[in-house]
Chain A
Amino acid sequence: MSEAVATQLSGWGRTMPTVAQLVEANSSRQIADLITQSSSRGVLARGLGRSYGDAAQSGGATVIDMTTMTDFSLNPDSMSVTADAGASIDSILREIVPRGFFVPVSAGTRIITVGGAIAADIHGKNHHRDGSFGAHVTEMVVIDGLGEQHTLTPKDPKFWATIGGMGLTGIITRATFTVIPIQSSYICVDTERAKTLDSVMSSMMERDHEYRYTVAWIDSVSSSGRGVITRGDHASIAQCNSEGIKDPESYDPKNIATAPGLVPRGLLNKLSVRAFNEGWYRKHPRSRTGELQRIGAFFHPLDGVQDWNRIYGPRGFLQYQFQVPDTASDLVGVALSKLREIGAPSFLTVLKRFGPGNQGPLSFPQSGWTLAADLPAGISDLGRTLDELDERVSAVGGRLYLAKDSRQSPANFARTYPRLDEWRGIRDTMDPNHVFASDLSRRLEI
């Protein structure tokens, strides 16, 4: 068995590290042993650490690094991939894109694991038509809190408790999910610049269904709420040929830069973020159709800059992402103006429409809007302002995304996930002794 090493772990936002006993996974047997022999601090699986808050850390616990088990295989006939939980979406894409397939749902980063994608039930730019990642999982192998291995399918409530279950029902070791056929590694992108938040949102309401992928970037500094909507579909070979692209199937995204290790406090301030937002808005044409972009540029633009989370400096940052139903679409504007009032500089503010949610009791997406803003942790009044927003969001039946959360109150969480007790009931059958624990589960008293 590999040795446990006391290791400081934090989320992508680097805000509240704790120290755990980190062990590299090497077999299902070993994982089952770690579960049955765990201390009172419990066990947690960790992937590539891209959840922003405290979901993949667990102070004092045994944290199993799943990224040492990375096998996967593509089955072109059934159009599916079967992968170890620790396999990264990045490595899977490098294998399957040149062979004409793509993952059913892609988050804003490909540096995530299959297990993490299931545990957080990630969503992407196609949620309005394809749902979240969990909707495309056909089978998974989970080791429960007693160290017993189960093969779960969507017929089983345990399956859905694990989709979006943040790793608290068991350790996913392997999963099969469907993939979609593509002709090229390019996306045919239409871009639209809109001068106000209202025009951004009405355009998205009207036209999102015409495209597989759509997302809007919002200028969080401008009081107009102006933004840039990008929409796209996988490009056909014919489209690539007509644009003179010679290698339509090649796929090899590279790092273009690495953020420096030491960044002074306050590098991201109102001025620098204002300049970025202005430039980003101006960079896009008022309207452009049929532009071919590589998959990496369209889906994972930030993956090109390694360790970009460091630019927020030593105090780290958080991402505030909430969902509200269409009947409360005004909350998008309310949130943007409240954050502007306290001078919270966000240069990555993303607005997206969600389609219906799935059966997962803790799965985040539900029909309506979702807004995500990156915010430096050091801003004064941030806590109070976000608490106020939490109230507004929960009052209309909205909620926060657990993979991003690092600060909501236990009461707010319980109020906004009304199926929590149902989920706890299933969890208690899968993990009667509550072996699985994270700093998130302790903070939110899950």
Chain B
Amino acid sequence: MLDALGEPQSVLVLGGTSEIALATIKEMPRHRLRRVLLAGRPSESLDAAVAQLKALNIAGVESIEFDAKNTGTHGAIIDAAFDTSDIDVVILAFGVLGDQMTAEEDPSHAVEIATVNYTGSVSAGLHIARRLKNQGHGTLVVLSSVAGDRARRSNFVYGSTKAGLDAFAQGLDAALEKTGAHVLIVRPGFVRTRMTSHLPEAPMTTNPEDVAKIIVSALKKGKSTVYAPGPLRFVMAGLKTLPKPLFRKLPS
């Protein structure tokens, strides 16, 4: 349960190695944390993520097995997590960037990106929503992306999965109205992570810690959409209305 000051007792991360999700947990008030579940495919990096949080004396950190593509298993995994105790915050953080050029040459790579980022999120998101609704409280944090705001030549396969995910999350938030459960959509710009380390940085680049601060503050305030950094909201509003010929002339 959240306490009166909004401090969570339990957090579930789907995509347990996500740097943004881990930074978010580190940024959260820790006094009341009792249970932190990092869900992902068993791997050294998942173990390292658990160790990283344990080293900070965060209580109740454990990993659970979860594969975004294996949607048939989502229900049982999420039920097991919620059956033990209520979960205050769920962070839907898994996703792959993929490679645009490879995807265009080999559509099966595009399918892979779409399956993880969109299909996997829809499946997990609906199971989570069912359980949040059942417990009458809790927030689902969805890591979307500005890449979904307007498709770009350079990354539209990834961008389209995030656009789909974003639309799904908006609708899910509406579906959860008056159930006590909420959805927080986070739309980061370029974030310095493993996923983007091979790419040239874009303007308004941030670090996972910056995004984490924005997420924790938004959770406390009960917001439903945030950009990271915040002013990207206005940049994207501008880009979305830019005429096509102009938009396409922008550096990708």
Contacts and interface: CB of A to CB of B under 8 A. Distances in A.
Given A377-B4, A382-B5, A383-B31, A6 B134 contact: no
Nearest to A379: B5
Given A19-B137, A59-B137, A383 B29 contact: yes
A388 to B, nearest CB: 11
B4 A318 contact: yes
A18 B88 CA distance: 11
Nearest to B179: A19
A17 B180 contact: yes
Given A6-B178, A8-B178, A59-B86, A19 B136 contact: yes
Nearest to A14: B4
B207 interface: no
Contacts of B5: 15, 318, 377, 382-383, 407
Contacts of B161: none
Contact of A41 (B29, B34, B136): B136
Nearest to B9: A443
B7 interface: yes
A303 B178 CA distance: 30
Contact of B136 (A20, A377, A383): A20
Contacts, number: 76
B127 interface: no
Contact of B1 (A19, A54, A61, A387): A54
A228 B210 CA distance: 49
A59 B136 contact: yes
B7 A8 contact: no
Nearest to A439: B1
A16 B3 contact: yes
A53 B4 contact: yes
Nearest to A61: B136
A28 interface: no
A339 to B, nearest CB: 14
Contacts of A289: none
A410 B34 contact: yes
Contacts of B178: 6, 8, 19
Given A19-B178, A60-B136, A383 B9 contact: no
Contacts of B31: 383-384, 387, 409
A82 interface: no
Given A59-B180, A387-B31, A443-B9, A13 B4 contact: yes
A110 B89 CA distance: 37
Given A19-B178, A59-B135, A383 B7 contact: yes
A58 B32 CA distance: 19
B1 A16 contact: yes
Interface string A282-322: 00000000000000000000000000000000001010000
B33 to A, nearest CB: 10
A6 B1 contact: no
A384 B6 CA distance: 13
B180 A442 contact: no
Q: Which of B4, B5, B9, B31 has the most CB of A within 10 A?
A: B4
Interface in A340-386: 377, 382-384
Q: Which of B1, B2, B178, B181 has the most CB of A within 10 A?
A: B1
A406 interface: yes
Interface in A1-59: 6, 8, 13, 15-20, 41, 53-54, 58-59
B10 to A, nearest CB: 10
Contacts of A383: 3, 5, 7, 29, 31
B247 to A, nearest CB: 39
Contacts of B179: 6, 19
B208 to A, nearest CB: 24
Q: Which of A53, A54, A377, A383 has the most CB of B within 10 A?
A: A383
A18 B180 contact: yes
A443 B225 CA distance: 28
Interface in A206-265: none
A383 B3 CA distance: 10
B32 A16 contact: no
A407 B136 contact: no
B219 to A, nearest CB: 13
A21 B59 CA distance: 32
A60 B135 contact: yes
B135 A41 contact: yes
B85 interface: yes
Nearest to B5: A383
Contacts of B32: 409
Nearest to A58: B136
B1 A443 contact: yes
Contact of A442 (B7, B29, B85, B134): B85
Contact of A19 (B3, B34, B180): B180
A406 B5 CA distance: 8
Interface of B: 1-7, 9, 29, 31-32, 34, 85-86, 133-137, 178-181
Interface of A: 6, 8, 13, 15-20, 41, 53-54, 58-61, 316, 318, 377, 382-384, 387, 406-407, 409-410, 439, 442-443
10 contacts: A13-B4, A16-B4, A18-B135, A54-B1, A59-B86, A60-B180, A318-B5, A383-B7, A383-B29, A442-B1
The 3 closest A-B pairs by CB, nearest first: A19-B180, A59-B136, A406-B4
